[in-house]
Structure 1
Amino acid sequence: MIVAPSPVRCLGVDPGSLACGWAVVERFGSRMSLVEAGVIRNPRGADFDQRALHIHERLAEAIAAHHPGFMAVESPFVEKNAATALKLGQIRGGILLTAALHGLPVGDYNPMQVKKAVSGYGWADKSQVGKMVMTLLNLKEPLAADAADAAAVAIGHLLATRGLPAAPGRA
């Protein structure tokens, strides 16, 4: 008996405390499509703990609405400002906790891996990545930059794993 492949969904996340991109991408065989994407925006003056909570709540809503099988998160590039790096690390920790609370395995990818997976070139700029996301997902309109980055993370994970959950210890 031949079993038809079933679609798999990945929630891609591009962490940021002020603007956190997210995208749910579905893969069915060799085709990929965008389910939904957005940017979680926090006001500059908001307390940091409230920013982290807001991101957690919005991602939890996306998980509940779209039932991804796993999450892929972009790891930060080396940040020159220690305070900024610490805050981004804290936001990533909250995002990883959100995945764990929902039982989602996590894939962790650095920006160069994401760019190479989507565009074939690890040094691609944001506009090149955005155009490839549009092409790979057959979109008519471009996504907001942070949402496009999150979609690229999800696409990269789906290509790297062929739609299987992240290997233990990936994140």
Structure 2
Amino acid sequence: MRILGIDPGLRRTGFGIIDVQGMRLTYVGSGTIVVPTDQPLARRLKTILDNVREIVEAHQPTVSALEKVFVNTNPTSTLLLGQARGAAMCALADHNLDVHEYTALQIKKSVVGNGHAAKEQVQAMVQHLLKLSGLPSPDSADALACAICHAHVGPLTEKLKTSGALGSLGGTRLRGGRLI
């Protein structure tokens, strides 16, 4: 399985690609899409759309993972971030990729073991788990962490769905590693 993780942002959108074979995670690539802030919103969203399309075409992931938007104190910022996510999702949908969404809390808990971990802790664990020679940039680390989260959580969720265990236990979703 090749996973493309995306950490969307209207100024900087991080991406990270990993290969997964059993429990083995292998780094493929990562980077940051820097979105020009001096352009109108529509052009900025198109920059994200076009770049994510290029990344998908170049690396041929089999699945994608995207960080969910959290609602913060500034509704305008939340809406703008949602539009950046939408542009990335459209590029993924163009290539018929399944998109799995995870909150920042789920991602940090999966990678670091603490849902409230600092960015530096996420960077250090991503470096360790993928055996990188240096710390990845914060945006790349967040995207790679999103991909790692899916590598850890995705297969379990799929097995529970296909086995019918989620339905028989009365829950249909996972929250914090628990069935709800």
TM-score w.r.t. the length of structure 1 is: 0.89
Q: Which structure 2 segments of 5+ residues have no match? A: 162-172, 174-180
Runs of 4+ deviating beyond 4 Å: none
1:79–1:85 Cα contact (<8 Å) kept: yes
Aligned to 1:134: 127
User: What is the aligned residue count?
Assistant: 161
Which runs of structure 2 are paired with 1:1-171 in the superposition (5 Å)?
8-162=1-155
Secondary structure of 2:83's partner?
helix
Q: Distance in 1 between matches of 2:89 and 2:157?
A: 18
Secondary structure of 1:162's partner?
helix
Structure 1 residues 42 and 31 mapped into 2: Cα distance closer, same or farther (>3 Å)? same
Secondary structure of 1:40's partner?
strand
- Residue 93 of structure 1: how far off its partner (Å): 1.2
Deviation string 1:23-78 (CA, Å, 9 cap, x unpaired) is: 11111121111111000001221111111111111111111111101110001222
- Residue 142 of structure 1: how far off its partner (Å): 1.0
Return the index of the structure with the highest Cα Rg.
2
More helix by share: 2
Higher RCO by CA contacts (8 Å cutoff, separation 6 or greater)? 1
Aligned to 1:5: none
Among the aligned pairs, what percent are the same residue?
Answer: 37
Q: Distance in 2 between matches of 1:91 and 1:113?
A: 20
Q: Distance in 2 between matches of 1:163 and 1:27?
A: 14
Q: CA RMSD in A?
A: 1.8
Q: Distance in 2 between matches of 1:79 and 1:46?
A: 24
1:23–1:147 Cα contact (<8 Å) kept: yes
* Greater Cα shift, 72-81 or 154-163: 154-163
